[in-house]
Structure 1
């Protein structure tokens, strides 16, 4: 179901860049792009939960890149979101020792934007700030996110280490932790770079 107001790419970029009323444009991105991007993940060895997790991380990364003027609309938002999701999912597959992925879409980001994206996903800075943020999420989220992003453990390894009932329970908990991060973006603009750094640690 489509939400009432439609936004152009330029409107979304401006609203995100200046932190104005983020809830509606972010909801619009979910409405417009969630199905296509989650379908891409599912078609490339991902579960529905994988797809939802990757989409959340994609939105967080997109907001950070726009705010830091690493994305200014040289390509479409659709193209850029796909590039972000694809990079995050590739890194997740590497964690699982599943290196093969087939592209189901023909569009790719501009080279400069691709370089900025790689920088956002790979460059590690201010580790202490990231740890401070994780502390605020509570002990359970702290353990899951440290295991997942810092130690590069798979869901199965986290489930075994933390003695959860199943891998799905771990996925559900990680989803809730990521939801907290998204909710905090609106109320804590200064956390955006920190969130980017958290995601970046998982790519090494």
Structure 2
């Protein structure tokens, strides 16, 4: 065992690369890298928002990438193996952190969008229910009040535009009639307090 350890510790970069490139010494080279450089690479990951499990997964990816680059003659020992492995680890880990950041951002955006959509849907349902209540009350006010209030609140017409759609003499007459209709509506609402909040919400929404 001690002889094997000495052999691993004495493996030069040149011998390591040659063994990987020919395919005959890959296992020996990987054992040497894990023995000599694993702690350094693990420390980098753990010191930069990672944990030992992250490091283990990433270092496996680093090893696969390193072997592929050597066998494709894209790394020929221009720098030390130690430096090259460190650079690979750093680049792959930065890429992973960016991916995690984007995933977190997408999840946050999705949750925000979903919450907004659910809130809008709930508000719309309440609004439609309130509208039904208002229409029913308008019917009880009679044709004249129903026409004026519908034109004002649902068609969003001004006093001048309502005057053009009705047979009143001037805008002030329309305004006075609208006031009386609202007074009648208020009396109806007061007779059924449970509908007040829905009526108020719907009138605010339409205006």
TM-score (normalised: structure 2): 0.46
Larger Rg: 2
Higher normalized contact order (CA 8 Å, seq sep 6+, divided by chain length): 1
**Could you say which structure has the higher helix fraction?**
2
